[in-house]
Structure 1
C-alpha cells in the first residue's frame, strides 16, 4: 500500500485499544508492511493500480466507520474489469497475510515483555498450572492414579481448509525473522539500508509468487507438508515440554512414580484416514509411515553426529565408565586421531548401529553414511540404553552439564519419536467394513448374505470368527476392488507395525459406529491380516486399539449403551485387557453440529462424555477420549485450553487426544514459540481437568443438566427447521455460498463430499462450515441458540438470572457462549446480504435470509443478556483488536468474490474470473484464520 496506507487516524480506529502504548509496535509493523507492499505494487504494476488499491482501501475503511454506504463500494468494485479486480484481490490478500504475521509477532513480543518484567505466569502455561497444582496440596496417591498412562496427543489431519502454499509460508518466515531481528537490534541499528532492502525483497517475492497452486494437492504432498513442522518446531518443543513436565511433577510428588513415559506425543491421520478418501491406499500407508520413520531417524542420526563433534573429551584427562569404554571398543572406530576420545568413538558406533536400523527400515540412510557397518537396533529402547551409558559416564567425571544439554534433548527425542516419529491412525466408515466383511464371509463359505443378518446374529457370527485363527480368504482370492483395496491396506499396516513397532499404527477409528457388530467387524478384519492373534499366550492380543467414533446427535446419545454392549463381549474384554484395559472413544464435533446445530451438538457431546465416564467406572476400565475438533467453532474449535477445562468431570482423566486440522496447523506449529504456547496449553489444561474440580456445579449439576437438555432440544428444533425442513434451503445454500467453486480450489486431496449427491447429509462438514465462513454468515457456530435462550427465558427474570449464574460458575456454559460470541463477532449480515443476492429465486432468497437475520439478532441479544457484557468480544480483547486490524481489508475481497461468482454463474468462462474467485476464497480464509 502507499505511504498513507495506514495513517494514524486509521490506526487509532482499528489498531487496538485507543491510547494503548502496548500495541504501538503492532501498529508500527502494520504501517511498515503496508507501506512496503504499496511500494512493491507501485513498482510492479504501476501507479494506476496503486491508486486503485489505495482508493479502495480508503473506501473500505469509510464503510467500516459507517461514513459511506456499503453499496457504493460494492457498485464501484462491481464495475471493474477482470484484470483490475485481480490486482485489488491480490493486494488485499497479501495484506491479510502480512497483517496476520504482524499479529503473531506482536503476541511473541508481549510474552517476552511479561517474562522480562517478571509477570505472573500466563494462564495456560505449564508454570501457571504447576503453581495451581502445588497450591491445592493434592494427595500423591490420587495424582499417581489419575496420571497413570498420562497422554496428550495432538493428531495432525489433512483437510481441505489449508489454503496457504508452502512457498508463501517460507516467505512469511523470512519477513517474520526480519521483524524479530529489528526488535532485537539496538536503537539506531533498526531498519538500516540493508535490512530495508531485505524486507523489500521478501515482499517483492511474495507479490510475484502465485497464491494458488496449479494442481490439487496429492496425498503425498500432504504427508510431506505435515512433516515439515517437525523441523520447524516439534523436534525442539515436544521433548522440551516433556522434560519440563517430568521435572515439575516429580518435584511436587517425588515418590509418586509419575510419567515413566513421555506424556506429550504426536499423532497423524495423513495417509491412514481413508474415510471418503480414495487416495488412501496400501501404498499411501507405506509411504506415510516410511516418510515419518525417515524424518525421525534422520533427526536422531544428525544429532548423533553433532554430539560426536561436541563430546571431544580425552581419556588422558578424564576416566570414562567401563560401560562407555566398551561402547567405544565395539564401535570399530580405529582412527588414530580419536584413539584417546572414547565418547567420539562410542558415538560413531551408536551412529553406525542406528544407520543400520535406517537401512533395514528405509532401504537407505538419511544423511552422511556411517563409518562402518554394525548390527542394527531392534527397538528404540536399545538406543536409549546406549545413550544412558553415555549420560552416566559423563556424570561420573563431573560433566553433568554436558549430559544435560544436547544429549538430554536427544534422549527425550528418542523417547518421544522412537523410530516411527508419530502414531499413524487408520480410519474407515463402518458401512465399508460391513460390505468388505460380507464379501469375505461369502467367499470363505461362512455366510452367504451377512447383510441380511440381524444384529444378534452378526455378533454371534463375529465372535465365532474371533475364536479361530484360520483366515477367511487366501491371498489370491478374487475379490471386488473395494474388498481387495481394504485388505491390501490393512496388510500394509500390519507390515509397518512389524517393521517399526506397535507405536507406528496405534489405533483404528470406526466412523459412524452404531453397534457392537461395527466394532467386531474391525476386529475380524485385523485378524484377517495377522494384526489380531486370537490365541496368544495369555489370550487374544492386538497391537492396534479399536476406537469407535460417535458423530451424529443420535449416535452420541446412544454412545454409552453401544460401548456397554461392546464391553459385554468376553472376547473384546480380553482384547482390552491385553491393552491395559484402556478404551479409546472418539467424539465427532463436525457431523454432530451439521446434524443438530451448535448448542445441541455441544450438549450432546457433554452428555455423551458423562455417560461414557459412568460406563468406564462401572466396567473398571480407563476411558480415553479422542476429540475430533476442527479449526472453527462450528466444528469444535476455539481456544484449546478453555475447551479442555470445560470437559465434564472424569472425561479427561490424564489422557486426551485431539485433532489439529487445516489452517490451524500452520497457525499453531509454524515456529517454536507458537508451538510451545499451544502445546503447553494442551498439557496444562489436561493436568487441571484431571486433578482439579473444574466443573464447580456440585449438587446443582443435575438441575443444570436438565436445563441444558431443554435448551438443546429447543436449539435443535430451531436449527433443523431451517436447515433440514425449509423447502429450498439446499438450493439457497448452494447459490449464496461458494460451495461449488470451493471444489475447484486446489487445497486438499480429499473430495468435498463423501459420495455424489446434493443433500446436506452427503456434504462433508468441513466444506459446509468453510462455505458459511466465506459468506460471513458463520451459521454452524450459533444458529438456534438465540431461539433456545429466548424461548426458555421468556419474560421470567429469574430464569435469566439462572443462566447468568451458570455462566459465572460453569466453564462448559461459559466457554460455549464465549466461542459463540467470537463467531457472532465475525459474522457480518451486511456482507451476507450481498451473497444472498446471488440466489435467483427472490422469494426463496428473502424467506431463508430473513430467518437467518432474525435468529442472528436474537442470538446476539440473548448472549449479551446472559453474559452481562456490552459487546460480543468483551472477554476477548485480543480478538477484538485483531478484527479491527484486519476486517476492513476483507471488505473488498467479499464484494469482488460476489461479483466474480455472479459473472461466472452467468456464463462468463474467462479463466481469470475463475482464478479471481479462487483468490478471494484464499484471501478471506487467510484473514479469518480459522474458517474451516
Structure 2
C-alpha cells in the first residue's frame, strides 16, 4: 500500500498521465486517486495561502500542520507539547488565518472523498461487478432470489410513498456562496479523470486555483442572522443542483432495473409506464413554527411562492429547449390529432414553422406555463412568450399536454426522441407539480391549547379549557366539531398568538386552493401527549375552512390536512400506541382516516428522545413504540405510515439511512416512509448530483427490501427475537438510569456542559432562524436537541451517541450466574438481529470520532476544578467501558474494522482537525475572559465561529 500523504498543503504536482497510469495498472491501490486529489487540492490551497497571506503565514500553517500530523499519526508526545506551544504563540491575525486554512482543507477533503466515491462506483459499473448493497438492482435481485415476483414489485411502486423532508435546523454552517464554489470545484475535479492534454490539465488546474482563491476571499460565515427566507432559498438550491434532474433520472433507472430483473413484462412495463410518484419531496422550511417565532402565515406563503417559481422556471427552460430539439416536420412524420389541436391553439403563427407542429405545440405550452408562473407570483420570466396563453389550472393539465406529445411520437416512429428530455420533463411534472415539495405545518400542542382556550372563553363556551380533565376536553372538542357554527367572531379582539395561529391555517387553505392539495397535506403536532391534542387541531381546521363539517363528502385524494402526532420524549413514546388506539376508535376520526385511504401517519422524534433518555434507551423505545403501533393499526384495519424525525448525527437518530430502514421492526415500513434530512446532512448528501441520486436510490432500495423481504417462517426465529428483545429491554433500563443520572441528576452537570462545550458560542452563530433554546434558560430540558448534540460533537466527545451503553452491558453481565452464556447471547444479537447490528455499527462510528485527549482540553474551561475532574472522570470511565464492551460483543478491537475506507478517511483528516479544536479552546478562553470584563473582540468571536464551521465539515455526519 502506498504511504499515506503527509503534506497536503505543499506537495509536488500530480502526474499528467493519471488516467493512463490507472488504466495500465489495474492492481494499483484503489485509494491512490483519492490521495492524489487531496494532494492536488492541498497544494493549491497552500499556493493560495502563500499568495493571499504571505510566506510568513504559510510557514506558520505548514509548521502547525506538520506537527499535528506527527502528533496524530506517529503518536509523538513531544509533538503534542510543541503543537500547544505553537498555537498559544499565535497572534490574533495569525489565529484567524490558521483556522481558515484548516477549515478550508476540511471542505476540500470532503469534495475529494465525494469524487472518489463516484469514481469507485463507476469503476464497479465498468467492471460489470455484481450490484452493490444499497442499490435498487441489489434489492431487486435479493427479492427475486427470495421468491418475490415482478407483479408484487410493480404493485409496491404503485402504492409506495418515500419522502425525504428537508428541514432547516441550526447546524447547517455553510453559506450558499460556499456551496456553489465547492460544486464547481467538484465538477473540475471529476473532469480530471478523463483523458486530458497537458494544456487542458494545466487550464483545469488554473480554474481550480481560481475557485480556491474565490473560497479564500469569500466569507465562510454570515454576519447577520439567517432569516426564514434565507433558509428557503438555501434549500431550493439543492433542487436546482440535484433533485429536479436526478429524481426523474432515478425513476428511469429503476424502470430499467425492474425490466432487467423481471423481463417477462419488460416491453409492457415501458409501454405503460406507471405514473405514480413514489418518491416525493417534503419540506418544513417556512411551515415549521414550533419554537420559531419567525415562521408565520407570510413565511408559509413565501415558501410556496418560491417553490412554485423554482419549478415553473425549470419547466420553462425545459420546454424552451424541447422546442429547439423537436423541429419534426409533418412533411416527413405526422402528428396525432391531439397534438395538432395543441398546435392550432398556439400563439405561434410564423410561416417558417407551419409544418413543425410539435414546436408550435410547445410554444403554446410555454405560453401557458409563463401565464401560470405569473399567476403564482413570478415577476421575471427570462424568455418572453411568443403570445398570450391561458394559465394551467393544475399541473395535471400540464402533464396531460406533455403526454399527448409522448403518445404522438411513439405512434410515429419517434420513440427515440422522447427519452432525452421529454420523458424526464413529464416525470418531473408528475413528481413536483406546481408546488415542488409538500410543505408540512408543525406547531406545539400547548399553543393549540392556549388558542382554543381563548376561543372557548370569548365564545362563552368554556372559561377554563386548559384546566379541564382530559375526558372532559375530548367530550367538549367532539361536541364542538359537530356544531355548524364557529367559535371565532370577526367582531371580537383576540390575542396576537390566536390571530397568528388562525391566520396561518387560513393561509394554508388559500395555498391548497392555489397550488393544489399536495402543496400542504400534513399538520404535525409537537409534544403530543393526549387524545385531545389531535382533536384540538381538527377543531382549529374546522374554524378556518380546512375541515368541512360534511366529512363524508370529499373523495379520496381531495382530503383535509392529515393530523399527525409527533411523539418525542421517552414518556411520549411509551404512550403512543395507546393514544392512537383511542383516537382511531372515535367514529369521526375513523371517517377522516377512511377518506385518507385508510392510512394514518405517525411521527417519531429521535433527537428529543435521545436527549431525554440517552442513545440506547432512545433507540429501544422507538423500536418498541413502532412495534406497538403496528399491532394497534393492524387491529384497527388502518395502514400505518411512520415519519422518522431523524437528525444528521447518530446522537440525533442519524447514521446511514439504508441500514436504519432495514433495522426497523417487522411490518413498520410496508411501502410507506417519510424521514427528515436535517442541517449539515443536506449538503453532505445532496450537494453533489451523482451522490444525491445515490442517496435517493438508497432510500428506495431500503424501503423496497424492508417492505417485501419475506419474514422468517419458523417459530424458532420468533422465539429468538423475543429473547433478544427481552435482553434489550433490560439493557435499556440500565442505560437509562446511567444517562439520566449523569445529565439530569448530577449537581453541576449543567454548568459543566455550558463551560466545557461551545454551546454558548453556537447559540451566537447566524446559522438558523430558530433560537437554540425553547426558553431563555440554561436548563438542559429547555435546550433544543440539535444544538445539544452539535456541541458535544464540537468538543469531540459526541456523548449523545454512546453514553450509557458500557455501564449497562457490564451491569447486565454481572446480574446473571452464567456470564459466558450472557456474552454469547449478546454476540448472537449482533450476528442475527439487524436492529442491534445497526445500533452497534452507529456507535462504533461515533466512538471512532471521539477523542478524549482533545475533549480534555475543553474540560479545562470548567473553572471549578473539582466539578471538572469529577464529571470528566465519569465520562472517561464510561467511554472505556463502552469501548471494552463493544469489543467484547463484536470481537473487533479496532474501531471501524468492518469499514476500512471510513477508518482511513478519519485517520487522514483528524490530523487537520486537531489544530482547529485546540485553537477553538484558546479562542473561547479569550472570548469568555473578555466577556467577563465587559469587552467583546469581534475578531476572536469570528475565529471561534470559523473553527465551528471547520470542525463540523471535518466530522461530517457526526459534526
Aligned to 1:501: 516
> CA deviation digits over 1:354-388, x for unaligned, max 9?
22222222264643232222322212222222111
Cα gap change, 1:258 to 1:648, in 2 (>3 Å): farther
| Residues 663-672 or 409-418, more deviating | 663-672
Q: 1:164 Cα shift?
A: 1.1
Aligned to 1:524: 539
Whole-Å separation in 2 of the counterparts to 1:50 and 1:882:
25
Q: Which residue in the other structure is 2:928 paired with?
A: 905
* 2:948 equivalent in structure 1: 921
2:157 and 2:278 in contact (8 A); partners too = no
Structure 2 residue aligned with 1:151: 161
2:37 — aligned with what? 29
Query: 2:913 aligned with 1:890, yes or no?
Result: yes
Whether the 8 Å contact between 1:633 and 1:820 is mirrored in structure 2 is: yes
Partner Cα distance (1:4, 1:898) in 2: 25
Work out whether 1:547 is the aligned partner of 2:547.
no
Q: Is the 8 A contact 1:156 1:268 kept in 2?
A: yes
Counterpart in 1 of 2:591?
574
- Structure 1 contact 598–781 (Cα < 8 Å) conserved: yes
| Partner SS state of residue 856, structure 1 | helix
Answer whether contact 2:6 2:69 (CA < 8 A) is retained.
Answer: no
2:766 corresponds to: 746
CA contact (8 A) 1:732 1:845 kept: yes
SS at match of 2:789: helix
Q: Is the 8 A contact 2:157 2:276 kept in 1?
A: no
Name the structure 2 match of 1:761. 781
1:858-908 per-position Cα deviation (integer Å, ceiling 9, x unaligned): 000100110111211112212101111110001111111111111111126
- 1:705 match: 725
What stretches of structure 1 of length at least 5 have no aligned partner?
Answer: 9-18
Q: 2:53 aligns with which of 42, 45, 57?
A: 45
Matches within 5 A, 1:671-820: 671-693=688-710, 697-794=717-814, 796-820=819-843
Distance 2:730 2:231 in 1: 43
Contact 2:7 2:66 survives alignment (8 Å): no
Question: What SS is found at the alignment partner of 1:599?
Answer: helix
Deviates more, 1:255-264 or 1:220-229: 255-264
Residue 535 of structure 1 aligns to a residue whose secondary structure is: coil
Do the aligned residues in 2 keep the contact of 1:78 with 1:895 (CA within 8 Å)? no
Q: TM-score, normalised by structure 1?
A: 0.96
Q: Supply the distance in 1 between the matched residues of 2:419 and 2:53 (Cα, whole angstroms).
A: 55
Paired residue for 1:11? none
- Deviation string 1:42-68 (CA, Å, 9 cap, x unpaired) is 222122111111110111012112112
| SS of aligned partner of 1:918 | helix
The residue number in structure 1 matching 2:17 is none
Q: Secondary structure at the match of 2:957?
A: coil
Q: Residues of 2 paired with 1:692 and 1:926: CA distance?
A: 37
* 1:296-344, Cα deviation, whole Å (9 max, x unpaired): 1111122111111111111111121111111111223211111111111
Matches within 5 A, 1:71-150: 71-138=81-148, 149-150=159-160
Q: Deviations over 1:222-267 (max 9, x none)?
A: 0011001111011111112223334544773859999551111111
Instruction: Assess if the C-alpha contact under 8 Å between 1:511 and 1:548 holds in 2.
Output: yes
Cα offset for 1:781? Answer: 0.1
Asked if the contact 2:146/2:710 (under 8 Å) is kept, the reply is: no
Q: Which residue of 2 aligns with 1:280?
A: 295
> 1:909, CA displacement in angstroms?
2.8
1:660 matches 2:680: no
2:576 aligned with 1:559:
yes
**Residue 20 of structure 2 aligns with which residue?**
none
CA deviation vs aligned residue, 1:684-723 (integer Å, no higher than 9, x gap): 0000000014789433121111111001001101101100
* CA distance in structure 1 between the aligned counterparts of 2:48 and 2:257, rounded to whole angstroms: 50
Alignment-derived partner of residue 13 in structure 1: none
Aligned counterparts of 2:8 and 2:405: Cα–Cα separation in 1? 61
Q: 1:848 & 1:43 partners in 2: Cα distance?
A: 46
Deviates more, 1:75-84 or 1:600-609: 75-84
Change (3 A) 1:476 1:75: farther
What is the CA-CA distance between 1:6 and the residue it aligns to?
6.3
1:234 aligned onto 2:243:
yes
Matched, 1:392 2:407: yes
Q: Deviations over 1:166-212 (max 9, x none)?
A: 111222122222211211124646632x2332222222222222211
Q: What's the CA shift for 1:75?
A: 3.2
Residue number in structure 1 paired with 2:284:
269
Q: CA deviation at 1:28?
A: 1.1
Identify which of 803, 821, 845 aligns with 2:844.
821
Q: Which has the larger displacement, 646-655 or 362-371?
A: 362-371
Q: Which runs of 5+ in 2 are unaligned?
A: 13-26
Matching residue of 2:853? 830
Alpha-carbon deviation of 1:146?
5.6
Q: Secondary structure at the match of 2:383?
A: coil
Aligned equivalent of 2:957:
930
CA distance in 1, matches of 2:724, 2:125: 40
Q: Which residue of 2 aligns with 1:372?
A: 387
Q: Is the contact made by 1:539 and 1:574 (CA closer than 8 Å) also made in structure 2?
A: no
| Cα 1:4–1:832 shift into 2, 3 Å | closer
1:184 is aligned to 2:194: yes
For the residue of structure 1 that corresponds to 2:674, the secondary structure is strand
Cα distance in structure 2, aligned partners of 1:638 and 1:299:
33
How far apart, CA to CA, are the structure 2 residues paired with 1:175 and 1:860? 39
Give the Cα–Cα distance (whole angstroms) in 1 for the partners of residues 682 and 385 of structure 2.
Answer: 35
The answer to whether the 8 A contact 1:249-1:258 is kept is no
Deviation at 1:543, TM superposition (A): 2.5
Structure 2 CA distance, aligned partners of 1:874 and 1:420?
Answer: 45
* Partner residue of 1:647 out of 646, 649, 664: 664
Distance 1:315 1:905 in 2: 77
Distance 1:301 1:508 in 2: 32
SS at match of 2:192: helix
Q: Which residue is 2:614 aligned to?
A: 597
Supply the distance in 2 between the matched residues of 1:258 and 1:144 (Cα, whole angstroms): 11
Distance 1:694 1:268 in 2: 33
Aligned pair partner of 1:606 in 618, 623, 626: 623
Distance 1:668 1:363, change over 3 A: closer
Residues in 2 aligned to 1:695 and 1:757: alpha-carbon distance in whole angstroms: 51
CA distance in 2, matches of 1:799, 1:929: 36
Aligned length: 921
Structure 2 residue aligned with 1:447, among 437, 462, 470?
462
Matched, 1:344 2:359: yes
Larger mean CA deviation between 539-548 and 313-322 belongs to 539-548
